[in-house]
Chain A
Amino acid sequence: MSTTDMQALAEQKYKYGFTTDIEMEAFPRGLNEDIIRMISAKKDEPDWMLQWRLKAYAAWLQMEEPNWAKLHHPPIDYQDLYYYAAPAKAQPKSLDEVDPELLKTYEKLGIPLHERAALAGVAVDAVFDSVSVATTFRETLSKAGVIFCPISEAVREHPELVREYLGSVVPVRDNYFAALNSAVFSDGSFVYIPKGVRCPMELSTYFRINAKNTGQFERTLIIADEAASVSYLEGCTAPMRDENQLHAAVVELVALDEAKIKYSTVQNWYPGDAEGKGGIYNFVTKRGACRGRNSKISWTQVETGSAITWKYPSCILQGDGSVGEFYSVAVTNNYQQADTGTKMIHLGKNTTSTIISKGISAGHSNNTYRGLVKISATASGARNFTQCDSLLIGDQCGAHTVPYIENRSISAKVEHEATTSKIAEDQLFYCRSRGLSQEDAVGLIVNGFCKDVLKELPMEFAVEAQKLLSVSLEGSVG
């Protein structure tokens, strides 16, 4: 690859790097019990919720930041962050009451919020920093019995569901960042699909970090009751900031008998500039529990953003015949670092898991796949297939694969394969000889490389993701 092409790649602009100038309400910097009490009070939470947070905070204080990932960053000063920020005029009753500046922001992001939402048929629970400001289509959903609301509202309105499931998949003490999130989470989405209901539309949340120096700690909980099914879309963009911002989310999925949850993410947080300055630190715990017979949880992620990604969407396959899937595309460029993968824990009989991971590294970035497939002695007839492929663009980047495979079941079948390569000259030559420009050829080949994953995305996302990939790698191979 030529130097000029590399330069073109590095100089590619982050097009969501604007900030919205509206009045913010923030608590003082730092973290202590008082801040947690303030967050809880702000949310009008019942006492059990506050106690849960305080317990998490106490646990967090005892824990140490994990350092096993292939990631390097200066130490994070947890006392230098704001743990709560929200637009001052919160809780609008309808879209008309929503701050027009905010609506404009969403328009720039291309979220189908207003009438466009109706056309797109997508319900959006848009999280702007820490408070959900607008929720659409709730009526249609409530007719079907589906609950889709900010989690802070669910704590008040549906305490029985929240108390039963919150922290049941990702326990408070699960890891450092999950404990931190449990203590300070400010908002997120809550979804409950009742027995036998197929959610009438795809649900979507667009998260957006806006205020400077604010950690974003959303918490998402999705429960699909017996024979229910839902497809959930999550997209992320963040404005350009010089400081690194912390994002530590927790997502919990619960699928009961015959239930199906499909969770798709396009993560496009600000990755930092060409010198590696700024960008989001993304430390996320995502886990789904296939509790019921023949239940299914499918994770699809396209990770193109963030300075640091630490994320392992996982499945606990407890119910007999349950299915876990993980489809991932992770692109790193410039000085981005990604350490991402999945865990598939097979406990039930005849459980099946599929892992398809595609890593693309360019510039000075490092991209690591880290995954665990664990098959316990009880998981007779379990089956896993894993494929992780890496593509290197440029000679200053790194691609790493760290899979762990642990099998204790004689009747299980586990297959794993991984390859690392660069874009083949002959493929490039073939495309070029058909009159495609260098950039189009690279875009085509990269999209082909990722096809197994992209085809799993819901339509709305697939188009965006394909564009995102092509844009991310413009002019990157010569």
Chain B
Amino acid sequence: MTALPTRKLEAWRYTDLRQLASIEFAAPPPVVAPTLPNIDLPRLVFLNGTLAKELSSPFEYVHNFQTIAEDSTQPLALINAEKAHDGMTLHVPAGVDAGTLLLISYAAGSVPFAFHLRHRITLGEGAKLTLIEIAKGEGVYWHDPVIDISLEQGAKFAHIRLQDESREAFHLATIRARVAEAAAYDHFTATIGAKLSRTEISATLTGTGALAHLNGAQLLTGTQHGDFTTVVAHKAPGCPSRQTVKSVLAGTARGVFQGRIEVDRVAQQTDGFQLSQALLLSPGAEMDIKPELEIFADDVKCSHGATIGALDAEQLFYLRSRGIPDDQARSMLIRAFLEEALEPVTQPEARALLEEAIDNWWVKQ
């Protein structure tokens, strides 16, 4: 197996995988009676890393799983390529609006186990798709999905993810999107579960007017570690990119955001924006932010902003003075804080799913 990345690699400076490396992972056991979300949408269900046909609904654009040679040097993508034996291969032909699909991964087992899903999503010219991805589970496991996305001219892909894995699990996702002229990749990941997680997204804008929207919310507590890493590569002129990442950290949780905007020489009129904000709710929490700009074109507008702080005492006081109990006031402020990142999620089922997950998280605090 390719070696796990270490903190000596700049990209892994803030996330230490040694605790993952120390665990012996077995092959995935069979799952009995999974608890799956009740959402009325066509779905694909993977149980411990294998497609469960009986739980999935027929979706005409899904094809048989096929592997494709891994040509990157990303350690996790290489490990996944060596081990993957299942995943979703989805192709939406040109001009088709495929609606909304649910992709569920459920994992459970009594001994530590690992599974390596490899998904591939391609949208033809002008095609449309909304994918809601949910990852849940119980017990100790390692889930390292790789999702490769290719959007042809004018295609629109909304990708909404809820990472709600077992609190003992490791979730390391690698998502790579190539976005052609006038196509749009709209991404949102809510990170709530896993003991240690990393969502690494790279979006490459290859044609004029291609858009990438990479948003995220991390809600972490206890000793959780959540890492949200993005790279937006502007390789064509006139592409906008937007990133809004919000982290709420309780207990002694540690949140990480690393975001890089790369602008090629040819990518004039780039409009890149990135915002990363974190709320620390308790004294032991930690947030590490590394927003990077790498710019080689002169006619560009790129900016990033980052803030880290506690809940605003004045806002809290304002709500309290209107008779709102402390607990509820805090919850309102946190919801408001997250709203900016959630905004682009407009699909009703996805929206309801995320709002419920956020509210549940708060109730448990």
A residues lining the B interface (CB < 8 Å): 68, 377, 390, 392-422
Contact = CB atoms under 8 A, between A and B. Distances in A.
A396 B305 CA distance: 26
A287 to B, nearest CB: 21
Of A395, A410, A411, most B-chain CB atoms within 10 Å: A410
A416 B277 CA distance: 10
B232 to A, nearest CB: 14
Q: Is the interface of A mostly helix, strand, loop or mixed?
A: strand
A382 to B, nearest CB: 10
Given A377-B284, A405-B308, A410-B285, A395 B301 contact: no
A394 B298 contact: yes
A380 B291 CA distance: 24
A421 B268 CA distance: 11
A416 B306 contact: yes
Given A377-B284, A407-B280, A420-B303, A398 B309 contact: no
A392 B265 CA distance: 12
A406 B298 contact: no
Given A377-B283, A406-B288, A420-B300, A414 B309 contact: yes
Contact of A421 (B281, B284, B285, B300): B300
A421 B301 contact: yes
Nearest to B258: A404
A417 B300 contact: no
Contacts of B297: 392, 395
A410 B282 contact: yes
Interface in B9-34: 10
A422 B296 CA distance: 12
Given A398-B296, A400-B292, A411 B310 contact: yes
A392 B297 CA distance: 8
6 nearest A-B pairs in the assembled complex, by CB-CB distance: A392-B298, A416-B306, A401-B293, A405-B289, A414-B308, A419-B303
B307 A397 contact: no
A75 B10 CA distance: 22
Contact of A412 (B268, B290, B296, B308): B308
Interface in B327-365: none
Contacts of A410: 280-283, 285, 310
B23 to A, nearest CB: 27
B303 A68 contact: no
Contacts of A399: 293, 295
A413 B308 contact: yes
B182 interface: no
B302 interface: yes
A68 B290 CA distance: 15
Given A390-B293, A400-B294, A401-B293, A420 B286 contact: no
B310 A395 contact: no
A400 B304 CA distance: 12
A406 B280 CA distance: 12
A406 B306 contact: no
Contacts of B326: none
B306 A405 contact: yes
A387 to B, nearest CB: 10
A154 B183 CA distance: 67
A410 B251 CA distance: 11
A399 B261 CA distance: 12
A401 B274 CA distance: 13
Contacts of B82: none
A419 B282 CA distance: 31
Contacts of B291: 401, 403, 416, 418
Given A398-B294, A418-B304, A406 B286 contact: yes
Nearest to B281: A410
B78 to A, nearest CB: 23
Contacts of B211: none
B235 to A, nearest CB: 15
Nearest to A383: B309
A399 B289 CA distance: 20
A402 B298 contact: no
A68 B298 contact: no
A307 to B, nearest CB: 20
B287 interface: yes
A412 B249 CA distance: 14
Nearest to A396: B265
A395 B294 contact: no
B70 interface: no
A392 B300 CA distance: 9
Given A393-B298, A407-B287, 10 more contacts: A390-B295, A392-B297, A398-B295, A401-B292, A403-B290, A405-B306, A405-B308, A418-B293, A419-B302, A420-B295
